[in-house]
Amino acid sequence: MPYSSRSTARFRDPAELLDFFLEIASVTSETLDLDRLLAGVADLILRVIPCELLAILLYSEKLKGLRIAYAMGHRREVIEKLVIPLGEGITGAAAQAREAILVGDVRNDPRYLNALDAVRTELAVPMAFRGKLVGVIDLQSTRLNAYGDYEKSTLQLIASRVAAAIYNARLHRRVERQNRTLRTLARLAPEFSSIRDLNELLQRIATAVRALVLYDSFNVYLVDEAQQVLRHLFSSRYDTRSTVDNIPLGKGITGAAAESREPVRVDDTEADPRYIPSHPDIRSEVAVPLVVRDRVIGVMDLESERIGFFTEDHVRVLALLAPQIAASIENARLYEELSRHKERMEADLRAARELQSVLLPRQAPETPGLEIATGVRPAREISGDLYDFFRQGRERSAIALGDVSGKGAAAALYAALVSGLLRTLGPSHSHPAELLKRLNEALLERKADARFVTLLVLLWHSRSREFRMANAGAMPPLIWRKGQLHKPRVEGIPLGLLENREYEEVAFRAEPGDLIVLYSDGIEDQHNASGDHYGRSRVLRLLEESWDRAPQEIVQRLFADLDRFSAGMETFDDQTLIVMRVK
C-alpha cells in the first residue's frame, strides 16, 4: 500500500477530522510566545505527516528571504546561517509563487538545495496572512514519492490556520521588545545618572545592555583627543580583558564608528578588512559611537561568536541607549573634577535653590471649587520635580506635576525649561492630551541628551466639577470618594523621548468631598535602613486613614509617616505631593 494511503486513514472518520481542527485551534490560541507556538505547530504536523527533516521558515522583509525559525533534523550551521531568497530552492519558489510545491524525487529538480544526501521527497507549503507572506513549512523525506495530494492538502490546511497565529506572535514579540526597550530606558536613565563610580557604572551598563542584546563580548573605548586614538576603558568577556588598545580614529570597526559618528554593523568579521582581531572566535560585531553634546567621547562595541548575529533592531536599541550611556560615562568621568570644586558648586547650588523657589509656586493659588495643599522636599539642594497651577479663563484651572530624569542641577535646569514651556503653552491648550503632545514636540526641538520628563496634567472645570486628565509616564492620580479608592487608568510615554506621540485623555466627574492626590515616585521609592521602600501600600494605608481630613493635614501626616519610616536615611529622590479636596 502506498505511504499516502496509510496517512489518509487518520481522517476517514469525520469526527477525527473535527478533532484535528480543534487541535489546531488549541495550539494556535494557547500562546503568543513564538518559540512555543512553532514547537506546537511542528508537533501537530509530525502527528499526521512523518518526515526526516522539518523546517518552519519565516520571511524577513529586511533580508528579503526566509530564515529557519524552527527545525528538526537540520544541521546547526544550516539553521544559524541559511537565508533563502525568494525564488531560490523549492522553499523559495513556494514562497514566491504563494503555492504549495511537491517534488517526488528531488534529484530530478534543479531547484533543490541539498540539506541531506538521502532526501528524495520535499513538500513546501507557504503561509500567508492578509495578503502578506509569513513563511513556509518545509517537509523532507528519504523515501521516494513519500507524499501525495493528501499530505499536500493536509499541510495546506495546517498552514492556512496557523499563519495568523504566527504573524501575531511575531508582532507580539516585536511589540514586547519595543516595550522592554522603553521600560529599560525609563528605568535606567535615573539609575545611570545616580552612579558616580565609573567602574560600577560600566559594570551596570554591561549588565543592562546584555539584558537587551545577548553579546559574547562588550567593550567601551574612550576618545583621546590629543592623540586621536581610542583608549580601552572597559571589557566584559568571561572575566578576560580585551588586549586591543590605542586604536587610531578611522581604523578598525570601532575607529570607523567614532569617525563616522554612526553605528557600524559587520555580519562577518573575517570578510571585513577593517576588523582588528581581539579574540579568535569572534565572527560579528557592532560598534556604536557615544556622543555627548555633539562630541564623540567614545565607542560602545559588542561582539558575537555567531555570523550575522546583530540585527537592525539591535542597532536601534543600542542607538537609543547610547546617549544615556554616553552622558552617564561623561558624568562619572567628570565627578572627580566636580568634587575638586565642591565648595564653589555648593554656593552655586544654593543660589540655584533660591532661584528655583522663585520659579516654583510657594503655595497653591486660590482655585474655584478646590482646596489645595502642596508639599515639596528635594533630594538635593535643587529638585528635578516640577509642579504648577495656572488658570484658563474664569472657570478652568490646570494642575501639573512632573519628574525630570536624573537629579541635581541638570535635572532642575531641564525642569525649568519644561516649566517655562508649560507656562507658555498651557493657557492656549484647553485639552491636556493636546498640551502634552505640543510639549513633547517642543522638547524634541530643544532635545537634551538623555533627558526626558514624566508629566501628569489635570484640567479642572469648576462649574461642571469635571477633571480632564492626560499622562506622560507619571504616577496616576489617587481619588478617594466616601472612603473608597478610585484609580483612573491614565497612561502615556514620557516627554522628550520619542517623536509623533499621541496622548489619551480621560474625563472624571467629581463630587463634593472627593479627595484627589498627586505625588512623585520619590515618596514610594524612599527607603529605610533595611533597604525596604516606603511603597504604594503605605501611601494607600495612610490615605485610607486620613482621606476625610484637611488637605494640609494630609500632607503633614504623610511626610511625618515617611520620616518615621526612613528614620534619618538620606532622601533618595525628590518628593512632591499635591492634595486637593473638591468643595
pLDDT, one tens digit per residue, over 524-547 is 999 998 889 999 999 999 999 999
Asked if residue 126 has pLDDT above 90, the reply is yes
* Contact partners, residue 171, CB within 8 Å, separation at least 6: none
* CATH classification (class only), 3-173: alpha beta
Beta-bridged to residue 223, according to DSSP, are: 230
Instruction: Tell me how far CA of residue 124 lies from CA of 47, 147, 174, 185, 416, in angstroms.
Output: 17, 11, 27, 42, 62
Asked if residue 302 has pLDDT above 60, the reply is yes
* Contact partners, residue 419, CB within 8 Å, separation at least 6: 359, 360, 386, 388
pTM confidence score = 0.43
CB 284, CB 307: distance < 8 Å? yes
Closest CA to 46 of 25, 23, 63, 29: 23
Residues 455-475: tens digit of each pLDDT: 999 999 999 999 999 999 998
Residue 50, Cβ density class (10 Å: 0-12 exposed, 13-18 middle, ≥19 buried): middle
d(C-alpha 41, C-alpha 531), whole Å: 47
CATH entry 3.20.20.70 includes domain 195-340:
no
Give ranges for CATH 3.30.450.40 in the chain.
3-173, 195-340
Sheet containing 466-472: order of strands = 385-391, 396-404, 453-461, 466-472, 506-509
Asked if residue 318 has pLDDT above 60, the reply is yes
Instruction: Tell me how far CA of residue 425 lies from CA of 452, 456, 476, in angstroms.
Output: 18, 15, 22
Name the percent of the chain lying above pLDDT 90. Answer: 47
d(C-alpha 469, C-alpha 398), whole Å: 10
Cell of 389: 497651577
- H/E element holding 463? none
| pLDDT score at 6 | 41
Residue 54, Cβ density class (10 Å: 0-12 exposed, 13-18 middle, ≥19 buried): buried
Residue 16 is given by DSSP the state H
Residue owning grid cell 570601532 = 254
To 5 degrees, how large is the angle CA 359–CA 363–CA 369?
125
d(C-alpha 573, C-alpha 383), whole Å: 9
| pLDDT score at 76 | 84
Q: Under CATH, which number does the domain 348-582 receive? A: 3.60.40.10
Q: What average pLDDT does the chain have?
A: 86
The long-range contacts involving 199-205, CB below 8 angstroms and separated by at least 24 positions, are: 199/234, 201/328, 201/329, 201/332, 202/233, 202/234, 202/329, 203/234, 203/236, 205/325, 205/328, 205/329
User: What's the number of CA atoms in the CB half-sphere (13 Å) around residue 76?
Assistant: 2
Give ranges for CATH 3.60.40.10 in the chain.
348-582
Closest CA to 283 of 301, 266, 263, 262: 266
In this predicted model, which residue has the larger pLDDT, 332 or 287?
A: 287
Question: Which residue stretches of 139-229 are H helix?
Answer: 149-194, 198-212
Dihedral angle, C-alpha 31, 33, 36, 41, nearest 10 °: 70
Residues 34-86: tens digit of each pLDDT: 888 999 999 889 988 999 999 999 998 877 899 999 999 888 888 877 889 99
pLDDT interval class at 416 (50, 70, 90): confident
Closest CA to 494 of 356, 384, 573, 575: 384
Residues 195-239: tens digit of each pLDDT: 888 888 899 899 888 888 889 999 999 999 889 999 998 988 755
Instruction: Tell me how far CA of residue 342 lies from CA of 193, 335, 345, 348, in angstroms.
Output: 18, 10, 5, 10
d(C-alpha 85, C-alpha 367), whole Å: 67
In this predicted model, which residue has the larger pLDDT, 51 or 19?
A: 51
CB 287, CB 255: distance < 8 Å? no
To 5 degrees, how large is the angle CA 194–CA 196–CA 200?
100
